[in-house]
Amino acid sequence: MNRDGARKSVWQDQVKSFSVTHPQASAYDVIVIGGGITGVSTALALQKAGKRCLLVEAANIAFGTSGGTTAHLNDFFDTSFAQAIKDFGLEKAKLFAQAGKDAMKIIQNNVKAYGINCDFEEKNAQLFAVDDKQADELDEMVKAAAQVHYQMKYISSINFPITFKKAVEISGQAQFHPLKYIKALAEEYISLGGIIFEGCICTNHEEHKDSIWVETSKGKFTAKQLVYATHIPHGINKLHFTNAPYRSYVLACTLTNGAYPDMLGYDLYDPYHYYRTHAVNGVKLLIAGGEDHKTGHANDTGECFSNLENYIRSHFNVDKVMYSWSSQYYEPVDGFPYIGVLPGSNGNVFVATGFRGNGMMFGSLSSKIISDLILKGSSSYEELFSPARIKPVAGFTQFVREQTTVVTDFIKDKFFTERIESFAAVDPGNAKVVKYENENYAVYKEINGKTHILKSTCPHAKCEVRWNSAEISWDCPCHGSRFNVNGNLLTAPAVNGLQKINEDDV
Ligand SMILES: Cc1cc2nc3c(=O)[nH]c(=O)nc-3n(C[C@H](O)[C@H](O)[C@H](O)COP(=O)(O)OP(=O)(O)OC[C@H]3O[C@@H](n4cnc5c(N)ncnc54)[C@H](O)[C@@H]3O)c2cc1C
């Protein structure tokens, strides 16, 4: 399956694209936009419940972050229970803990009910503190976990070759092969009569009294309900100011000593490193990730891979790095995902975003929350994860900080390009945003000298894109839209590409 990056993830080799169906009708009960874990799980849940669904995907199933994930299935989240209690109170933190249990159950039930062969394995997880500061943080996490009745057990040794101060083990976690799982769900959905339309981008929707009109690159469709499972919705609304795009880096390698950890592992750095083992085509691989940064905020994304590899080599006996890739996720300003009714809509348009590094779980949970909202009119998570919620005052500083980063990117990026003087500064194999006669251009020169020139302004919210050398893409730091060197759209929320310029036109 293809992915929205130049580098292959470990999952892509094993799962080939499959023929999907083409819509015969133009009217449906529900249209789901986006074919990642969120969209496919939601479409299946609704189709199974008797709704006639159309799933519209801009590229192919699992083209987005679901094809570049690491697929830990952990029910403790990037937002710790300590943070959740502090910002949302004990009762809401308990519901947050329940969300993890429910998400895990959804995945387990799907694997069982559909007999999915996706290398699903239950695993324990270990969280380890490597210095005093992390040890204090871990103590706080364990105390808060007990308050929400979540079990973390102190241990005196860990299954990772890393010196640590304190560590805990958590049982009942899991891992799987994300593409095998998503493909199986998509096939099940099709077998129930669901329709998947690949290579079709949703560009807009209009809400009318009895239906929603959905405009796509392949024509207009109507539905009673619409679900944006696009990782971030298109257009510009509240969610583009309460979510910030981040990039994380992963490598999969063989080890010379065969000492592959048999658990999920995490340190407590910020950003943290995450570890697991997976056998691909009979070869065991250590899959390790980290080096996260805000999209567009690393000068050299290639260096992020070197830093990650150096760090992993300093602890593990790495033989060969077989795969390395990076992918994008969204950080919500208050730490909880946004799942439910799209703010500003009439109640029939739904959205799921802000998953941090836990979207396998929250994407799966979204299928339950959104289908409950559509089928029953309510969900026990409706208020907790409401996309329209206002952040509690306790975490307001963080809200302002994130918000400020997004807003200043709008302004600062106009000046970012001022520093770049002329096209001559772009060497073969490199890329830059350059200013030329008061216009900004994204210029990429291939090794053979062929130059690709695009207008560098992102069509979504008019920020200036920045070069991502690791994935050979132009990335927008404001909301995470991404484009290839020809200007074609790779990642939402934009729905159009960057304007292509012939060298002669400039
Ligand atoms: C490196 C990395 C590691 C991670 N590891 C983990 C992990 O171990 N465990 C975990 O739980 N989570 C993890 N996550 C997070 C998780 O992978 C994501 O949150 C999850 O995959 C998001 O799924 P999604 O279906 O919501 O979005 P996506 O998978 O991004 O799917 C969205 C789809 O929508 C399509 N689309 C977008 N716009 C349009 C449009 N206008 N019209 C039609 N289609 C459109 C895209 O092409 C795409 O296919 C990780 C994230 C990263 C970056």
Tell me if 293 is assigned to some domain.
Answer: no
Output the six-digit token pair for 421.
Answer: 């003087």
- pLDDT for residue 473: 96
Q: Which of 372, 332, 328 has the alpha carbon at shortest distance from 350?
A: 372
For 463-475, write each residue's pLDDT tens digit: 999 999 999 999 9
Tell me if 294 is assigned to some domain.
Answer: no
- pLDDT for residue 66: 98
Q: Scan for tokens 């009673």, then name that residue.
A: 224
- pLDDT for residue 429: 87
Tell me if 485 is assigned to some domain.
Answer: yes
Residue 448: CATH number of its domain: 2.102.10.10
Domain that holds residue 500: 414-505
The CB density around residue 424, as the number of other CB atoms within 10 Å, is: 7
Stretch (H or E) spanning 249 = strand 243-255
Tell me if 483 is assigned to some domain.
Answer: yes
- pLDDT for residue 437: 67
Output the six-digit token pair for 149.
Answer: 């009745």
Tell me if 382 is assigned to some domain.
Answer: no
Question: How does residue 434 score in pLDDT terms, banded at 50, 70 and 90?
Answer: confident
For 221-233, write each residue's pLDDT tens digit: 999 999 999 999 9
Stretch (H or E) spanning 141 = helix 132-147
The CB density around residue 414, as the number of other CB atoms within 10 Å, is: 13
pLDDT at 435 over 90: no
Tell me if 156 is assigned to some domain.
Answer: no
Query: Among 70-79, 187-196, 409-418, which stretch is predicted with the lowest mean pLDDT?
Result: 409-418
Tell me if 457 is assigned to some domain.
Answer: yes
At 104, give phi and psi (nearest 5°).
-60, -40
Query: Among 51-65, 315-329, 357-371, 420-434, which stretch is predicted with the lowest mean pLDDT?
Result: 420-434
Query: Which are the contacts of 435, defined by CB distance < 8 A and separation ≥ 6?
Result: 417, 418, 420, 421, 441
CA 297 to chain CA centroid, Å, is: 17
Q: Report the residue among 65, 196, 356 best suited for mutation to probe ligand 1: largest number of ligand atoms under 8 A from its CB.
A: 65
Q: Report the residue among 231, 370, 496 best suited for mutation to probe ligand 1: largest number of ligand atoms under 8 A from its CB.
A: 231
Cα distance between the two ends of the chain: 37
Compute the distance from residue 311 Cα to the ligand 1 centre, in Å.
26
Task: Answer whether 79 contacts ligand 1 (Cβ < 6 A).
Answer: no
- Domain count across the chain: 1
Compute the distance from residue 284 Cα to the ligand 1 centre, in Å.
25
Task: Answer whether 36 contacts ligand 1 (Cβ < 6 A).
Answer: yes
Ligand 1 atom with minimal separation from the 329 CA: 53
Q: What is the mean pLDDT of the chain?
A: 92
Length of the chain: 506
